[in-house]
Amino acid sequence: MSKIKRIAVLTSGGDAPGMNAAIRSVVRTAVYHDLHIYGIMRGFDGLVKGDIKRLEAKDVANIIQRGGTILKTARSEAFRTPEGRKLAYEHIKANDIDGIVAIGGNGTYAGGMAFMKEYDVPFVGMPGTIDNDIFGTDYTIGFDTAINTAIEAVDKIRDTADSHNRIFFVEVMGRYSGFIALHTGIGSGAGGIFLPEIETTVDDISEILKRAVIRQKLFNIIIVAEGNPSGNATELAKKVKEVNPEFDIRVSVIGHLQRGGSPTAMDRVLASRMGHSAVRALMRGESGVALGIINDKITFTPFHDAIHKVKPLNKELVRMAEILAM
């Protein structure tokens, strides 16, 4: 183990259910190993402004079940500049911090990597994002909760779709990644899924809906990823309606409901495992790596690969979704 004595933890980018469980794990693992642990408020913005506070085990009591992040999160334009990173470094040295655990997505990793090129401060990353789009891990913290929230919402939409014989286009989050859409579509028994990674035309969806009518299925659910290149749920619904004016079509955007709420058991356990491993990684002298979980084992991926390599969808799941939607 290295001579690291003081570490800090921050959350950056979009919040994700399970971030508090991760913070709790980092703090209590650090305390167990007799390390001083500090919380950086509002991500890199707090680092630039010196908003740093000492944490004890009691400070993270009763947070494992809470959504959001007790450390808050924010975008930081100042940290993107050399002057801002210099201020951040001065605050790190003023608090004698030897290493940082950064919880977030690709932007968080990019910030850590940029900082490490200029200053000798080790960073270890943890994947906190509902999108599940980070290379080097099967699952990210918050993904399981997000898809459970989305599926619960779709189940309720299905009730009214069935009652009125309507077709609903339901938009889920995920930016330009289809993981949330794919898993929500499978889990909710959707009749079709629009994924950013796979080109699907309006004609394709129209054909799905017409086949459903032949089978006397008078309602349907179509899941649309928000970053779909063919258009969002509202745009696609309009296009389909123009081609098929006989269909009774509605649109529902689940939105930020997917980012909040109490984390599932899976996200709590995942976050706890990663937080514990992140502290021990810093103590071993690891730096510039992102934690992941592959085949239920903790792994480490260089920041560069985690940022720049694309995590593909599971083609078998995509094909299965198409078959089950028939």
Element at 129 (helix H, strand E): none
Place of tokens 């689940």: 254
Q: Quote the DSSP letter at residue 228.
A: -
Nearest-Å Rg of the Cα atoms of the chain is: 22
Q: What are phi and psi of 214, to 5 degrees?
A: -60, -35
Contact 146, 104 (CB under 8 A): no
Region of residue 73 (left: phi > 0; alpha: psi -120 to 50; beta: else): beta
**Cα–Cα distance measured from residue 116 to residue 302, given in angstroms and rounded to the nearest whole number:** 13
Q: Name the residue among 200, 186, 193, 190 with its Cα closest to residue 229.
A: 200
131 is catalytic: yes
**Cα–Cα distance measured from residue 170 to residue 224, given in angstroms and rounded to the nearest whole number:** 6
* Catalytic residue chosen out of the listed positions 15, 45, 98, 131: 131
- Give the pairing of strands 99-104 and 6-11: parallel
Which residues have a catalytic role annotated?
A: 131
